[in-house]
C-alpha cells in the first residue's frame, strides 16, 4: 500500500558492506523478495532478483556483496551490481542469448 511505512530492521543491524536483510514487498500486485544493505553510509534497498535470469541474488541468505564488499553479486553467474544504483556493472551471465 502506497505511503505505508514499516520497520524492516534496526538501521544499526546493517553494517557497511556487510550482510543484508531480506524482506518481502508488494509491487504491482505481486509479493516479491527484496533486501536492504548499507553502502557508503546509506541504507539501500533493491528487489532481490537478477536482471539476467529471475533468480535471487544472495549466495547465502542475506549475503549480497562480493568478497571486496564493493559490489553486489549474483550468486548464479556472478554478474555484479553497483550498490549505489543497483545498475549492473559486469555482466558475465552465460544464461543470456
Ligand atoms: S542469473 Fe544472475 S548473472 Fe546469470
Structural domain contains residue 5: no
pLDDT tens column, 22-48: 999 999 999 999 999 999 999 999 999
- Please state the pTM of the whole predicted model: 0.87
Q: Which three cell numbers stand for residue 39?
A: 553502502
Report whether pLDDT(19) > 70. yes
Structural domain contains residue 97: no
Look up the CATH number of the domain holding residue 86: 2.102.10.10
**With a 6 A CB cut-off, is 74 part of the ligand 1 pocket?**
yes
Q: How many domains does the chain have?
A: 1
Q: Write the CA distances from 1 to 4, 7, 10, 28, 33, integer angstroms.
A: 6, 14, 22, 10, 16
**With a 6 A CB cut-off, is 88 part of the ligand 1 pocket?**
no
For the CA of 53, the closest atom of ligand 1 is 1
Please give the distance, rounded to the nearest whole angstrom, from the Cα atom of residue 49 to the centre of ligand 1. 9
- Give mean pLDDT, residues 7-17: 94
Amino acid at each position: 500500500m502506497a505511503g505505508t511505512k514499516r520497520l524492516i530492521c534496526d538501521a544499526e543491524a546493517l553494517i557497511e558492506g556487510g550482510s543484508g536483510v531480506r524482506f518481502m514487498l508488494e509491487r504491482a500486485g505481486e509479493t516479491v523478495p527484496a533486501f536492504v544493505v548499507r553502502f557508503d553510509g546509506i541504507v539501500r534497498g533493491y528487489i532481490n532478483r537478477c536482471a539476467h535470469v529471475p533468480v535471487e541474488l544472495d549466495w547465502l541468505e542475506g549475503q549480497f556483496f562480493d568478497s571486496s564488499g564493493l559490489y553486489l553479486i549474483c550468486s548464479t553467474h556472478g554478474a555484479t551490481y553497483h550498490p549505489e544504483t543497483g545498475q549492473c556493472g559486469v555482466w558475465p551471465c552465460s544464461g543470456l542469448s
